[in-house]
Chain A
C-alpha cells in the first residue's frame, strides 16, 4: 500500500515538473501545427474563417510557377552552401589545429565571431561592402566580371552572393564541430603514421579523414536542414528578386500569408516545407543513432 501511495505521489510531483513544458508546448507548438494542417485545407484569409476546400491548395501548388521556382532556388542555395561551407570549415579547422595556445584561441575567435552577430547586422555589413558605387569589394567583382555589379539586383550574382554571406556568417559553428572532431583523433595514430614515414597528405587521407567522417556527416546534415530554412538573408538582401531569382520557400509562405492575405494557401506551402524538413531531420537522426550504436 505504502509503495503504491509513494508511486502516486511521485507521479504527481513529476506532473508538476513537466507541466510548464507541456502547457507551452501544447499552446505554442502543437496547436499551431495542427491549425496549420487544418488551414491548409481551407481558403481562409490570414485572419478569419474560410471554407473547407479539400486538397485544392495542394493541387494549386503543383501548377504555381512561383512555388516551383522557390523549390528550385532552395535546392540551388543548398548546392551553393552545404558542401562548400563543410569543405571550408574542415580546411580552417585543420589549419587551426596546427596552432597552439593563445594563438589558437585568438584565430578561432576571429573565425567564430561572425556567428554571434544578428543577421541584420551581417546583411548590412555586406550591403555596404558590396555597394555598387563605393563598396570595398567592387574592384574584386570588377576583376571577375569586367565591371562593377549591383550583386543583389543581378539574377546571376544574387544567389551565389547570398551564399557567400551566409557561409561567412555561419561557418564558425562548423569549424568548432570539426575542431572537436579533430581533438578526438588519438595522437598515437599520428605518431604511428609518422614512424611509418607517412606524408602530411597520407596522414590526412588515411588517418584524419576516415576518423572525421562522422563529424563531417553531422555537419553536412545540420547544414542541409539549416540552409533549407533560408529566409532572413534573402528577405533583407534581395527580397526574393530580381525577377524572383532568389525567391525561396519560406519567403513564399511569408508573402502568401502576410502580403497576399492567403492564410490557407500559405499554410499549405508551410505544411509542405514542414514535412520536407521533418523527413530529412528524422533521416539524419537515424543516421546519427546508427553511428552511435556501431
Chain B
C-alpha cells in the first residue's frame, strides 16, 4: 500500500497534492450538502407532519413519512377562511406590484432621461426615503387610514406599500446605461418621452422589470406588520395575518396547523422555484452587489 502511495512522489509533487485537494474537496462538499439538508429540515418536517393524521402526530418522532393523508389539507381549506385570505393576498399583491412598477418606472425615467428643475432634489428625496424605516410610521399611517375610512379595505392594505424607492433607484441605474442613440432614433421619428419609455426603454429592460416584479410580489405577499395593523376583520386578512388566527380556532392540532402553513407557503415556494434565477438576480441588483 505504502509503495503505491509513495511511488508517484518521485516524479512530481503535483499528483499527491491534487489527491489531498480532492479529499479536501469531497469532505467540504459533503459538509455543505449535509448542512443544506439540516437547513431545510424544518420545512421537510412541516410537510411530514401535515400529511399525518392528528392522532399520529403527537410524540411521533419518526423522520420518515409513515402516512399519506390529505385530511389536514381538506380541513384547512374547508374549515378556515384560507381561500378568502388567498384572494386578499393575491389581489393586493398583484395590484401593489403593478402599481409600484408603473409609478417607479415613470419616476425613474424622468430622473434618468429628462432635465427638469428639481430633479436633483427629487432624487435626494428618493434616496432619503430609502434610508428611513417606514415601519416606524405605522401609527400615523394608521390614523390617516382611519381618517380616510380605509381600515379593513384592500386600499388600506395597498396604499402605504406603494412607495418603493429601491425600485426607482434600480430602474434609474438601468435607464442611465441605455445608449443615447436609442432614444434619438425615436425623437427623429417625432416620438415623445412616453413613446421612448414604452417603445425603447421598457422592452430593453424587460429582464429587470420581471426581476423587480417577482421580488416586489414576494415582499408584498409576505408583508405582515402593516396588513396586521390595518385589518381587523377576518374576511379582509391576507394569508400571513390570517393564518395566525387559525391556531386559536384549532387549538394544538399540529397536522392541521402545518397543513395551513404549507398552503400559505406554497405560492411563494413555487414562485421561487420557477423564477429562481430572476429572484437571485433581483436581490443582487437591488442590494447593489451587481448592477
Q: A residues engaging B (CB < 8 A)?
A: 7, 10-11, 13-15, 17-18, 20-22, 24-25, 27-29, 31-33, 35-36, 39, 46-47, 92, 95-96, 98-99, 103, 105, 107-114, 116-121, 124-126, 128-129, 131, 133-134, 136, 139, 168, 173, 176-177, 180-181, 200, 215, 218, 222, 225, 229, 231-232, 236, 250, 253-254, 257-258, 263, 266-267, 270-271, 273-274, 277-278, 281-282, 285, 288
Candidates A10, A107, A121; contact of B114 at CB < 8 Å:
A10
Candidates A112, A116, A253; contact of B222 at CB < 8 Å:
A116
Chain A binding surface SS class: helix
Assess whether B57 is interfacial by the CB under 8 Å rule. yes
With A218-B287, A270-B139 in contact, do A126 and B240 touch (Cβ < 8 Å)?
A: no
Judge whether A20 and B107 touch: CB under 8 Å: yes
Judge whether A124 and B261 touch: CB under 8 Å: yes
Q: In the docked arrangement, what's the CA distance between A194 and B269, Å?
A: 40
With A13-B192, A253-B139 in contact, do A124 and B110 touch (Cβ < 8 Å)?
A: no
Distance in Å: Cβ of B269 to nearest Cβ of chain A: 7
Judge whether A14 and B139 touch: CB under 8 Å: no
Residues in B whose Cβ lies below 8 Å from that of A271: 136
Q: In the docked arrangement, what's the CA distance between A118 and B258, Å?
A: 14
Residues in A whose Cβ lies below 8 Å from that of B83: none
Q: In the docked arrangement, what's the CA distance between A177 and B43, Å?
A: 23
A-B contact pairs, 17 of them (CB 8 A): A11-B116, A15-B116, A21-B168, A35-B140, A39-B139, A110-B36, A118-B265, A119-B240, A120-B241, A124-B258, A125-B258, A168-B39, A225-B133, A232-B224, A250-B135, A258-B142, A263-B139
Give A15's nearest chain B residue, CB to CB. B116
Candidates B35, B46, B159; contact of A92 at CB < 8 Å:
B35
With A32-B140, A99-B29, A180-B290 in contact, do A120 and B244 touch (Cβ < 8 Å)?
A: yes
Judge whether A17 and B109 touch: CB under 8 Å: yes
Candidates A15, A139, A277; contact of B136 at CB < 8 Å:
A277
Distance in Å: Cβ of B21 to nearest Cβ of chain A: 8
Residues in A whose Cβ lies below 8 Å from that of B160: 28-29, 32
Candidates B131, B244, B271; contact of A281 at CB < 8 Å:
B131
Judge whether B32 and A107 touch: CB under 8 Å: yes
Judge whether B28 and A95 touch: CB under 8 Å: yes
Q: Which one of A112, A124, A134, A250 has the greatest number of beta carbons of chain B within 10 Å?
A: A124
Apart from A18-B106, A109-B272: 8 A-B pairs, beta carbons within 8 A: A14-B114, A28-B162, A95-B32, A107-B36, A131-B252, A250-B136, A254-B229, A278-B133
Q: In the docked arrangement, what's the CA distance between A222 and B109, Å?
A: 27
Q: In the docked arrangement, what's the CA distance between A114 and B192, Å?
A: 45
Chain B binding surface SS class: helix
Q: Mark B32-66, 1 if CB is under 8 A from A, else 0.
A: 11011101101101100100000001110100000
Residues in B whose Cβ lies below 8 Å from that of A181: 289
Judge whether B39 and A10 touch: CB under 8 Å: no
Which of B168-221 touch A at CB < 8 Å? 168, 192-194, 218, 221
Give B229's nearest chain A residue, CB to CB. A258
Residues in A whose Cβ lies below 8 Å from that of B102: 20
Residues in B whose Cβ lies below 8 Å from that of A285: 127, 131
Assess whether B79 is interfacial by the CB under 8 Å rule. no
Judge whether A270 and B57 touch: CB under 8 Å: no
Distance in Å: Cβ of A294 to nearest Cβ of chain B: 15
Q: In the docked arrangement, what's the CA distance between A111 and B33, Å?
A: 10
Distance in Å: Cβ of B282 to nearest Cβ of chain A: 10
Candidates B107, B168, B240, B272; contact of A118 at CB < 8 Å:
B240
Residues in A whose Cβ lies below 8 Å from that of B257: 124, 128
Residues in B whose Cβ lies below 8 Å from that of A31: 140, 144
With A13-B114, A253-B138 in contact, do A47 and B146 touch (Cβ < 8 Å)?
A: yes
Residues in B whose Cβ lies below 8 Å from that of A103: 33
Q: In the docked arrangement, what's the CA distance between A125 and B160, Å?
A: 29
Q: In the docked arrangement, what's the CA distance between A228 and B33, Å?
A: 32
Residues in B whose Cβ lies below 8 Å from that of A10: 114-116, 193
Distance in Å: Cβ of A287 to nearest Cβ of chain B: 12
Residues in B whose Cβ lies below 8 Å from that of A215: 289
Judge whether B116 and A274 touch: CB under 8 Å: no
Judge whether B137 and A113 touch: CB under 8 Å: no
Q: In the docked arrangement, what's the CA distance between A92 and B37, Å?
A: 12
Assess whether B67 is interfacial by the CB under 8 Å rule. no
Judge whether B284 and A267 touch: CB under 8 Å: no
Which of B244-291 touch A at CB < 8 Å? 244, 247, 252, 254, 257-258, 260-261, 264-265, 268-269, 271-273, 276, 279-280, 283-284, 287-290
Judge whether B141 and A28 touch: CB under 8 Å: yes
Distance in Å: Cβ of A16 to nearest Cβ of chain B: 8
Judge whether A177 and B264 touch: CB under 8 Å: no
Judge whether B24 and A200 touch: CB under 8 Å: yes
Assess whether B75 is interfacial by the CB under 8 Å rule. no
Judge whether A177 and B107 touch: CB under 8 Å: no
Assess whether B87 is interfacial by the CB under 8 Å rule. no
Q: In the docked arrangement, what's the CA distance between A169 and B24, Å?
A: 30
Assess whether B225 is interfacial by the CB under 8 Å rule. yes
Judge whether B284 and A257 touch: CB under 8 Å: no
Assess whether B95 is interfacial by the CB under 8 Å rule. no
Q: Mark B112-126, 1 if CB is under 8 A from A, else 0.
A: 001111010010011
Distance in Å: Cβ of A166 to nearest Cβ of chain B: 13
